[in-house]
Amino acid sequence: MMPRSWPRPGTTRDVLREHIVLDGLPLQILDTAGLHQATEAIEAEGIRRARAAIASADRILFVIDAASDPQAAAFREELADLPSHVPVTLVLQ
């Protein structure tokens, strides 16, 4: 099956996966689209895929760009919508 063509290239919609070993512990790291209110169908699809991946995660690393969001407002806005059974670590970069 051919991948679906999206009208706007460069928009994150896929979940990127990487297997790593950290101090002998195998980990699968997933990178998803950012969580926000979607304004376009392609963004909505990326966010849908991100939420599906988050729901099955063992831990969420919620990454915030501290230069553009020093108070981590995006984290506070999304916290209630994150699965309550998954521990969350806020990462300011």
Which two three-digit tokens encode residue 60?
Answer: 């969420």
HSE of 67 in the Cβ direction (CA atoms, 13 Å)?
A: 1
pTM above 0.75, yes or no: no
Closest CA to 18 of 78, 66, 61: 61
Splitting the chain (93 residues) into consecutive groups of 10 residues, what average pLDDT does each group show? 51 77 93 75 79 88 92 92 93 93
- Calpha distance 73→70 (Å, rounded): 8
**Which are the contacts of 24, defined by CB distance < 8 A and separation ≥ 6?**
none
What is the biggest distance separating any 2 CA atoms in the chain, rounded to whole angstroms?
44
pLDDT reported for residue 51: 83
pLDDT reported for residue 2: 44
